[in-house]
Chain A
Amino acid sequence: MDYSALTDQQVVELARAGREPAYRELVHRYQRPVFSLIYRLVRDREKAEDLAQDTFIKVLNAIDRYDPTFKFSSWIFKIAHNTALDQLRRKEPETLSLEGSPHARTDAEAEASTITPESGTENPEQYTASKELGGVIERAIERLRPEYRTAILLCHVEGRPYEEIAEIMAVPLGTVKTYIHRARNELKRELAHLRA
């Protein structure tokens, strides 16, 4: 069966029926978005990997209790967000590591797990410029409050609508709009020197 052609709801139904490949498909679909969100919240790669694992374990072990009237993406992002916030409440990490994963066993694995620009058509100058811009904006996002960070990442990186972000963060819609508006203003201020 080609699981990749199925919707989230269909894959979840198969997982609830005890199909192990359906579990793997859900991990495959959401490992990057979930890991990226958690990583940008906790700013520690090793911790982010542990928290992303915890998120998937919580979600998949409770798959029989999932309410299909809600979007699966909302549910998993909500758990990821809460898991990361719990970690932030326990300890505020000190560093932002943009290097490869500590779990990488070879240089190739480390390279594969390092942040890279998505476009493959950039020339070396553009690549360097975009990498620099990427680093600047990553650091600017790092300085945002955690709730602003979640809101802005879900909105702009994951492309989630405001209503879904409100559901994920368990706050009113107006609060989400305020978070995003303030986060954008802060980021614009942070990036102003690049335009000067």
Chain B
Amino acid sequence: MSELEHLSTESLQGYAEGTIGAADRVALESHLQGCTRCGGELEEWRSLFTTLAGLPQLSPAAGFSDRVMARVKVHVPVPVWAPWLEGARQLAARLTPRTAGAWALASACITLPLLLGGGLVTWLISRDYITAQSLWVFATDRAASGMQSLGASALTGVMESSIASWLVTQARTLAASAGARGLGAFAVGIGGLTMASIWILYRNLFRTPTREAQHVTARV
């Protein structure tokens, strides 16, 4: 680089702020040693940078922090279960009766079965041949057998349904033709379909209402 080919302002600024590479730095310093014009310009840039870096920082008026804090709402972390609690509270609010008549009806719905059940139990215990213990054993035994029979009938219903029999037939055919791997793939497919069905049901029953419903709500 001859003295006539002076350094660009970009190079001189980069050199003054120390952002140029080592190789360029050597070439620049070599040129600067023999070029007073570029050396003078470099000093001008350095002087400007020093002046800018020395610009003072202004302080806002006293009490700035207090004025800010007076308008800031300090963030209170929300526990993970808070939305569930809020949902339960809203549900309870919706179910709570609002009129005297509704309260009377709700009270009757709760107390009448209790009164009738209590009266029945009292009458039974008052018999000589029935004790409280035997009544409890009888009730729990009936409840357990009832649950068992309900579960068994539900399972039987599923197994005897046409869909279930079709699935079993398909599974048997697949096991005979494609072996355990095919059966596994079939099971994965059925599992995926089941999950998709559950998701679709969930979306339709519990998720965001439709655009039309929102529009109606907004208009109301």
Type the 1/0 row for A126-161, where 1 means its CB is closer than 8 Å to any CB of B: 000010011001100000000000001000110100
Are A152 and B60 in contact (CB-based, < 8 A)?
no
How far is the CB of A75 from the nearest CB of chain B, in Å?
15
The interface residues of chain A lying within 8 Å CB-to-CB of B64 are 27, 31, 35, 49, 52-53
* A35 and chain B: residue at smallest CB distance: B60
CA distance A120 to B59 in the complex (A): 17
* A98 and chain B: residue at smallest CB distance: B58
Type the 1/0 row for B118-156, where 1 means its CB is closer than 8 Å to any CB of A: 000000000000000000000000000000000000000
Are B49 and A115 in contact (CB-based, < 8 A)?
no
* A130 and chain B: residue at smallest CB distance: B54
The yes or no answer to B71 lying at the interface (CB within 8 A) is yes
The yes or no answer to B45 lying at the interface (CB within 8 A) is yes
Are A39 and B72 in contact (CB-based, < 8 A)?
no
Interface residues contributed by chain B, number (CB under 8 Å):
32
CA distance A82 to B211 in the complex (A): 35
| Given known contacts A27-B68, A53-B71, A184 and B48 CB-to-CB distance under 8 angstroms | yes
The interface residues of chain A lying within 8 Å CB-to-CB of B73 are 61
* A25 and chain B: residue at smallest CB distance: B65
Of A2-10, A11-19, A85-93, A168-176, the stretch lying at the interface with chain B is: A11-19
* A57 and chain B: residue at smallest CB distance: B71
User: Within residues 62 to 115 of chain A, which ones have a CB less than 8 A from any CB in chain B?
Assistant: 63-64, 101-105, 109, 112-113, 115
The interface residues of chain A lying within 8 Å CB-to-CB of B61 are 49, 101-104, 109, 113
CA distance A20 to B68 in the complex (A): 12
User: Within residues 3 to 34 of chain B, which ones have a CB less than 8 A from any CB in chain A?
Assistant: 9-10, 13
Are B59 and A28 in contact (CB-based, < 8 A)?
no
Contact of A181 among B10, B44, B76, B77 (CB under 8 A): B10
* B50 and chain A: residue at smallest CB distance: A156
Are A35 and B54 in contact (CB-based, < 8 A)?
no
CA distance A47 to B201 in the complex (A): 56
Are B72 and A117 in contact (CB-based, < 8 A)?
no
Q: A residues within 8 Å of B by Cβ?
A: 15-18, 20, 23-24, 27-28, 31-33, 35-36, 39, 48-49, 52-53, 56-57, 60-61, 63-64, 101-105, 109, 112-113, 115-119, 130, 133-134, 137-138, 152, 156-157, 159, 181, 184-185, 187-188, 191, 195
Q: B residues within 8 Å of A by Cβ?
A: 9-10, 13, 44-45, 48-49, 51-65, 67-69, 71-77
* 28 pairs of residues in contact across A and B, judged by CB atoms under 8 Å: A16-B75, A18-B74, A20-B74, A23-B69, A23-B74, A27-B65, A27-B69, A32-B59, A35-B60, A52-B64, A57-B68, A60-B68, A61-B72, A61-B73, A63-B75, A103-B62, A109-B61, A112-B59, A112-B62, A113-B59, A113-B60, A117-B56, A134-B55, A134-B56, A157-B55, A157-B57, A185-B9, A188-B44
